[in-house]
Amino acid sequence: MAQLYFQRGMHEQRAQFEHFFRDYPDYGSHQAGYAINAGLETLLEWIDGARFGPDEIAALRSQTHSAGRQLFGDDFLDWLEQHGSFDNINLRAIPEGRVVHPNVPLTVVEGPLAMVQILETALLNTLNYQTLIATKASRLAEAARGRPILEFGLRRSASLGGNAATRAALIGGAAFSSNVGASHAMGLAPKGTHAHSMIQAFTALGQTELDAFRAYAETYPDDCLLLVDTYDTLASGVPNAIIVFDELRSAGHAPVGIRLDSGDLAYLAIQSARLLNEAGHDDAQIVLSSGLDELITLQIFAQINQEAANYGVDPQRLISRLVLGVGSKLSTSDGQPFLSGVYKLVALQDDGWVPAIKVSDTPAKTMNPGEKDTYRIYDRRGRATADLLAVAGEDLSSDAPMRLQHPIDAHQHRDLAPDDRSRLEPLLEPVLVNGQRVSDPPSLEDMRTRRTDDVACLDPGVRRLVNPHTYHVSLTPDLWGLKNRMMAEARQ
Amino acid sequence: MAQLYFQRGMHEQRAQFEHFFRDYPDYGSHQAGYAINAGLETLLEWIDGARFGPDEIAALRSQTHSAGRQLFGDDFLDWLEQHGSFDNINLRAIPEGRVVHPNVPLTVVEGPLAMVQILETALLNTLNYQTLIATKASRLAEAARGRPILEFGLRRSASLGGNAATRAALIGGAAFSSNVGASHAMGLAPKGTHAHSMIQAFTALGQTELDAFRAYAETYPDDCLLLVDTYDTLASGVPNAIIVFDELRSAGHAPVGIRLDSGDLAYLAIQSARLLNEAGHDDAQIVLSSGLDELITLQIFAQINQEAANYGVDPQRLISRLVLGVGSKLSTSDGQPFLSGVYKLVALQDDGWVPAIKVSDTPAKTMNPGEKDTYRIYDRRGRATADLLAVAGEDLSSDAPMRLQHPIDAHQHRDLAPDDRSRLEPLLEPVLVNGQRVSDPPSLEDMRTRRTDDVACLDPGVRRLVNPHTYHVSLTPDLWGLKNRMMAEARQ
């Protein structure tokens, strides 16, 4: 496409593309009610280093037409080598960590047509995945009700994509990760536990699980977290852990806790808590892992609430000791492993911005055309009540009721009286101007705060894990009018 | 764990770990009946470059105990900096591209305990994902019945993991990929089509879909593949493509074909074929894309077989023109986005190899202990009938019936008379000896040939996409005896 634009003299014509996703992740039996935006800094780092260097140009030059001739002309390749960078693009985006919704532009790129087209795959590859994983992490955080989540997914994540998974999980709701490199890059200490193999190594050499636990306590007296299910959780693992914890306390150290990695986690957590409590270790953490996702976590908490008291264990105190180790199902977004993010041409400059559209027989897939402004509207309680897409430059300061038009159904709209709205917040912020950053990268803490602030502004029905309320994404009457005119024209 | 081993003087004790997966990918309504091994070369490249350099050591030195002291001792870090490489490991593996089954070791690593433990996450991260994706690609190839598959998944794959997805898809069943860089690395030309944005750009500037198609044909007269669903597939896209194809033929070029990317793909393929045939373009390819996976492909082929003749289109001729563009659902293994691969300590050297075990309340999760030999047994027809795990060094050359013991159920076994077996094939091959490769990397063609040869040796029931026969993975009576003795000991 870039070569075609080059041959037609269209390659440096300014174009505007929007990145948005079409639907919340739908995990089969349950669909998300909101998403968490992530991946922008990773994309900016990529853009900063992306060039068509000699190796890339040589690789392109070696491509051939079916008829055998060189596929890319020397004139085009020369242009690409000299001008094939992202130095001339402007990029606006919704900041990482914020709550986001379908069909709202998360990233808007403006620049020479050929280069903003070339950016498409890298942009989608980077942003779709991290937004997907940050969203899953936020759902886990909802299910965990304040208890910490440890991200353990690297061994089964998608090759080098595992580092992006860790980054997104840490933004979206995970407290820590066992991924040493990615944690370090985010300025966090990694957190993990030992593996079964450590116990196996000791027993293969004629020693016991207890010997292995003692060795671990000797090496890490203040960080002693023991995996107790190598042979038999309640008959061997927990009793041996208690012996070692007693010894640690006698020596003036506080044991950290145990990890349960198989079996009926709710039942074993209750029974382990009972044994630990009886031995005076009622502050020891209980880390749960093995196939956890948001619904299994919800179920474990419910089962503990229902059953713990039957065994003399206080359910709330037990829950306050839990830590959730979540692996494969977080780092692959099990149930919905990709986000439906797209990157669409919305406008082209030709004596001002000319809007562009793509229609579809599926009404939900017909895009919203043209250059836009985007807002989040808050109600009187300070709750986010809708996201609103407007034609760029529209004046929305009127005191009249504000009409929120459904993006597809002409007959559905909502009129919001001035009293019903407390704030109209622009969502997109400038990020790159002529390829240069306009502000420093946010810290992990900044991104996490955005998430918790935004989630707190959602209606509890939207936050629900199963069958959430639908958050409104609406158009202004002006944008609705533009969309309808262009659809009619395109269909002629 | 490595520091603990170091402090106990166990860090350089030779250990043997096995990598295997527990279950075939299960995509919800349908589980795979075999898997395709992939990822080994990527792992070997990683191993070759992996070192604890000054940056890594400094990062580790900055980690602290909960009590604030330095977590890793200087003596341990010095050892890691000097000896923390994989120069002393031996690695055996089943070659990439081969059909593989659960609980059979795919990779066996032997070396100093600390280093083979440190290798775990990188090994699993690399091998689990590529085996998962190669398996999905092989299923798509089964569904496509010889028609080519193009891998289009990069925009929604897992960040940088998308390159591994392309590699694995090309090994497992995809003919080509639109991923330019990963295709180039595999020695293949990339294949793709233009996007909707190209049509949109022309129409935004007052031109038409036909103008855009003509421009594409002018730039790529011998590679003209047109995306026909930007506005209306049958009323606009296909008729405009036919005009351009007529013009190309008049100028002496052969048009390639069209791509359908939305709507009822089977119906639109039939109707597009009808229009193309009527215009004399009965050799134009029809590329289908949009949410394809193996079951949707199966359904499209079935629908074409049932309905094409009603519209005067020969179903077999239409199918012979199809090309399948498969994106997100291939590169994320939709339905089952991770493989249950694990890495378990099976033996430790201490006056010879001492077997190690981990038991579990879930019998299927109790591993097979000890150093092993592994074989594939072929029946008289040359079909693979079972994989067999034996104690290392067992003599299986006897003419007596060979007992194949079920790995969990003591009462299930099969006795295979000498006449019923045509070949006993060792599965593991030496790959690294003292960290050095023993042979050159295989070509893509080598890996693809292994796959097609192995798949051809499977029972058709095992290849079935839905509800396949269960392939047997069995133990020799000697290995079964060892496993049972060790389970009994571990439970005491």
pLDDT band at B67 (very low <50, low <70, confident <90, very high): confident
pLDDT at B357: 86
Residues near A193 by Cβ (< 8 Å), separated by ≥ 6? A225, A226, A227, A259, A287, A325
Q: Do B17 and A197 touch (CB under 8 A)?
A: yes
The crossing angle, in degrees rounded to 10, of helices A40-49 and A120-144 is 160
Q: What is the rounded CA–CA span in Å between residue B135 and residue B132?
A: 5
Share of chain A above pLDDT 70, in %: 100
pLDDT per residue as tens digits for the range B139-175: 999 999 999 999 999 999 999 999 999 999 999 999 9
Q: What is the pLDDT of residues B396-412, one digit of tens each?
A: 988 899 999 999 999 99
- What ranges in A186-335 are assigned the alpha helix state H? 196-204, 209-219, 238-250, 265-278, 294-307, 315-319, 328-331
Residues of B in contact with A77 (CB under 8 A): none
CB contact under 8 A, B159 and A125: yes
Exposure class string for B88-105: b at 16+ Cβ within 10 A, else e: bbbbbbbbbbbbbbbbbb
Cα distance between residue B153 and residue B176, in whole Å: 12
In 3D, which of B128, B342, A231, A43 has the Cα closest to residue A241? A231
Return the pLDDT at B459.
97
Inter-chain touch B337–A332, beta carbons under 8 Å: yes
Most A CBs within 10 Å: which of B157, B159, B208, as the mutation test of the A interface? B159
Q: Which long-range contacts (CB under 8 A, 24 or more apart) does B393-400 make?
A: B394/B476, B394/B478, B394/B479, B396/B424, B396/B476
For β-strands B322-326 and B149-151, DSSP reports them as: parallel
In angstroms, what separates the C-alpha of B238 from chain A's closest C-alpha? 15
Q: What percent of chain B has pLDDT over 70?
A: 100
Cβ within 8 Å, pair B159-A156: no
Element (H, E) at A57: helix A54-61
All residues of chain B having their beta carbon less than 8 Å from the beta carbon of residue A7 are 218-219
Q: Shortest CB distance from A490 goes to which of B4, B7, B231?
A: B231
CA atoms within a 13 Å half-sphere pointing along the CA-CB vector of A97: 21
Q: Where are the beta strands (DSSP E) in B295-439?
A: 322-326, 341-349, 353-355, 372-378, 384-391, 402-405, 413-416, 423-426, 429-433, 436-437
**Residue B366 token pair:** 């109790």
Q: Provide DSSP, B59-104.
A: HHHT-B-TTSSBSS-HHHHHHHHHH-SSTT-EEEEPPTT-EE-TTS
Give the whole-number percent of chain B exceeding pLDDT 90. Answer: 93
Choose the mutation target among B155, B163, B213, B487 for the interface with A, i.e. most A CBs under 10 Å: B155
Instruction: Tell me the chain A residues in contact with residue B362 when contact means C-beta distances shorter than 8 Å.
Output: 262-263
Q: Which of A140, A127, A143 is nearest to A173 (CA)?
A: A140
Put simply, the answer to whether B159 touches A163 (Cβ < 8 Å) is yes
What pLDDT shows up at residue B366?
85
Q: With contact defined as beta carbons under 8 Å apart, do B149 and B174 qualify?
A: yes
Q: Do A205 and B159 touch (CB under 8 A)?
A: no
pLDDT at A160: 97
Residues in chain B closer than 8 A to A165 (CB atoms):
158-159
- Count Cβ atoms below 10 Å from residue A142 Cβ, excluding itself: 18
Mutate which: A197, A209, A232, vs B, most B CBs within 10 A: A197
Length of chain A: 492
Q: What are phi and psi of B121, to 5 degrees?
A: -65, -40
Which pLDDT score, from 0 to 100, does residue A399 have?
A: 87
Q: Over the stretch A184-215, which tens digit does the pLDDT of each residue have?
A: 999 999 999 999 999 999 999 999 999 999 99
> Who among B4, B157, B350 is closest to A219 (CB)?
B4
Span of A339-343, B6-10, B229-233 with lowest mean pLDDT: B229-233
CB-based contact B337:B296 (threshold 8 Å): no
Distance CA B442, CA B437 (A): 12
Strands of the sheet containing B257-260, edge to edge, are: B176-177, B149-151, B322-326, B285-288, B257-260, B225-227
d(CA B39, CA B26) in angstroms, rounded, equals: 20
**In this model, does residue A492 exceed pLDDT 80?**
no
Instruction: For chain A, list the domains and their CATH numbers.
Output: 2-50+85-134+335-491 (3.20.140.10), 193-321 (3.20.20.70)
Q: How confident is the model at residue A415 (pLDDT cuts 50, 70, 90)?
A: very high
Contacts of B344 (CB under 8 A, 6+ apart): A196, A197, A200, B17, B18, B20, B358, B367
pLDDT in the model for residue A365: 81
- Full DSSP string of A148-214: -EEE--GGGS-TTHHHHHHHHHHHHT-SEES-HHHHHHTT--------HHHHHHHHHTT--HHHHHH
The mean pLDDT of A223-248, rounded to a whole number, is 96
Distance from CA of B400 to the nearest CA of A (A): 34
**A135-153 confidence digits (pLDDT tens):** 999 999 999 999 999 999 9
Q: What is the pLDDT of residues A432-466, one digit of tens each?
A: 999 999 999 999 999 999 999 999 999 999 999 99
Evaluate whether B116 touches B17 at the Cβ level (below 8 Å).
yes
Query: End-to-end CA distance of chain A, in Å?
Result: 26
Confidence check: pLDDT of A67 > 90? no
Has the ipTM of the complex gone over 0.90? yes
What is the distance between the alpha carbons of residues A80 and A3, in angstroms, rounded to a whole number? 9
Residues of chain B found within 8 Å of residue A125, distances taken between Cβ atoms: 154-157, 159, 162
Share of chain A above pLDDT 90, in %: 93
What's the pLDDT band for B221 if we cut at 50, 70, 90? very high
What is the DSSP annotation of B199-254? HHHHHHTT--HHHHHHHHHHH-TTS-EEE--SS-IIIIIHHHHHHHHHHHHHTT--
The angle that helices B209-219 and B238-250 make with each other, rounded to 10 degrees, is 40
State mean pLDDT over A102-122: 98
Which of A157, A164, A197 comes nearest B117 by C-beta?
A: A197
Nearest CA in chain A to B216: A4
Average pLDDT in the B57-86 region?
Answer: 95
Contacts of A124 in chain B (CB under 8 A): 155-156
CB burial of residue A138 (10 Å; 0-12, 13-18, 19+): buried
How far apart are the C-alpha atoms of B389 and B373, rounded to whole Å? 6
Nearest one of B172, B149, B168, B150 to B158, comparing CA atoms: B168
Mutate which: A155, A260, A328, vs B, most B CBs within 10 A? A155
For residue B361, give the nearest of A10, A221, A262 by CB distance: A262
B158 vs A129, A184, A344: nearest CB: A129
Q: What integer best gives the mean pLDDT of chain A?
A: 96
How many residues are given for chain B?
492
Identity of the residue in B216, B334, B356 whose CB atom sits nearest the CB atom of A200: B356
* Confidence label for B29 from pLDDT (cuts 50, 70 and 90): confident
The residue written with tokens 């040796």 in the block is: B457
Phi, psi dihedrals of residue B236, rounded to the nearest 5° = -130, -55
Interface contact A120-B59, CB threshold 8 A: no
| Structure token digits, residue A115 | 């280069």
For residue A334, give the chain B residue with the closest CA.
B337
The pLDDT, as a whole number, for residue B110 is: 98
Closest approach of A409 to chain B, Cα-based (Å): 20
Q: Is B133 exposed, middle or buried (0-12, 13-18, 19+ CB in 10 A)?
A: buried
pLDDT of residue B492: 73
Are A362 and B129 a contacting pair at CB < 8 A?
Answer: no
